Structure 1
Amino acid sequence: MRKVVAEFIGTFTLVLLGCGTAMLTGCEQWGGYMLTAFAFGLTIVGMAYAVGNISGCHINPAVSLGCLISGRMSVKDFIGYVIAQCVGAFAGAGVLALLFDMSDKPDLTGGYGSNGLAGVRDSIGAGLIVEVLLTFIFVFVILGVTSPKQSHGSFGGVVIGFTLVLVHILGIGFTGTSVNPARSLGPAIVAAIDGNSKPIEVVWIFVVAPFIGAAIAAIAYKILEGKGDKEEA
């Protein structure tokens, strides 16, 4: 139960701070890009040191899938993590909707920080490619940093957080950067409740693509890591 609660809090915080920053700054200008990228990345850094010792700080179903395929978690834990992450993302987006409504602040993203295909001219194929590649990179780094065969001391959370910053810097202009099914699903549902159905119509892309990217990353890392690294060292 402690792990599930930690994943809920972590994902709630990620959506609240990451999507909230995007809503305030917009993503049409370079400054908005950078602020949003760092908001997501620095949230990961903070949560990694806050709940990493409790749940591993996945706060992302794609990361959890990568860990499942890598044999680092059970199916039961995976299901619990994903449910907690999705509920946390929905709660985070719901709080943002309430805050922006109470403060009369304009939502510069138009959908509570939802992901979309505007940057790829509504091309489903391009959106899938971008999200698969970015998720592959993100999860591949996480698996390497957290591998039992590696020793990164207390810097693992920083490496993972800044990797998320980097994939956001590239991906925001294309899809708004998901690499996280829960982060996409929560705002899309809240936007649909508010009458904006466009995000929910394409949200499947931001669920399917990150899972594919994570699965490829997990398989690739298992092959590359192998069983003889210690002997070769």
Structure 2
Amino acid sequence: MTKKLIAEGLGTLILVLFGCGAAVLMGAQIGMLGIALAFGLAIVAAAYGLGAISGAHLNPAVSLGVLLAGRMTAAEFAGYVVAQILGAIVGAGLLYAIASGAPGYDIAVNGLGQNGYGAGYLGEYSLTSALIFEAVMTFLFVTVILGATGPGSTAGFAGLAIGLTLAAIHLVGINVTGVSVNPARSIGPALFVGGKAMADLWVFIVAPLAGGALAGIVNAAGLTRA
């Protein structure tokens, strides 16, 4: 179990450092397409590098879906969530340490790849839009994960399918919420940025968990598997 928790923490660190790092350090150069690919490629890297150890959930919403699909215990779920959140915090901390070395960087202005919605945030989408987007996209994301890793799935391709799905979700929704679909990914940067990022954080905990839970329940009922 210790190896699994270390893998989950390290994998979530990779996701935050690569994905949010692309937005903070290279966003102006690579644009939204580059940021979307960074998140997707981070998942691919973690899935193939660490998946054999822990399954590379890297996301409390994914772990909740796996739990409700009957593939892990409640104790394992709790351990995974703690490891994922700690990994995200460390990843965000490393990113802040790097970004703060650039002349003129101000976390209050430049941010840390935090999620948000409403006035002053990217496309300024409403709370309703943010909740719907995060819940629906997390449901679809976790459904793909459960299908790609479940009985009858094609061996060796799960990491690629999952990474491409996350990249596609980012291509659709960066302008809406910055794309969370992952409470840990949202918690890490928000803790450092504070202010509006912390005020908005509940959306990126509640909506992804609701979507992940629904995906797990639907999968357990056999509606999304052979």
User: CA 1:24 to 1:226, structure 2 compared with 1: closer, same or farther past 3 Å?
Assistant: closer
Q: CA deviation at 1:225?
A: 4.2
Partner in structure 2 of residue 145 of structure 1: 148
- Which residue is equivalent to 2:20? 19
- The TM-score, its normalising length taken from structure 1, stands at 0.89
Other-structure match for 1:84: 83
The answer on 1:219 being equivalent to 2:217 is yes
Aligned to 2:180, what secondary structure does the other structure show? Answer: coil
Distance 1:130 1:111 in 2: 22
Give matches, 1:164-183, under 5 Å.
Answer: 164-183=166-185
Aligned equivalents of 2:224, 2:13: Cα separation in 1:
35
Residue 208 of structure 1 corresponds to 206
Q: Is the 8 A contact 1:23 1:107 kept in 2?
A: no
Q: Would you say the 8 A contact 1:60–1:82 is kept in 2? A: yes
Correspondence 1:17-96 to 2 at 5 A:
17-26=18-27, 31-96=30-95
- Closer, same or farther in 2 for the Cα pair 1:100/1:79, shift >3 Å? same
Deviation at 1:116, TM superposition (A): 0.8
The answer to whether the Cα contact below 8 Å between 2:68 and 2:220 also exists between their aligned partners in 1 is no
Give the deviation of 1:67 after TM superposition: 0.3
What amino acid maps onto 1:216 in structure 2? L
Aligned match of 2:11? 10
* Shift in alpha-carbon separation, 1:99–1:214, aligned structure 2, 3 A: same
TM norm structure 2: 0.92
CA distance in 2, matches of 1:140, 1:99: 35
5+ residue gaps, structure 1:
none
Identity %: 47
Q: State how many pairs are aligned.
A: 221
The CA RMSD over aligned residues, in Å, is: 1.9
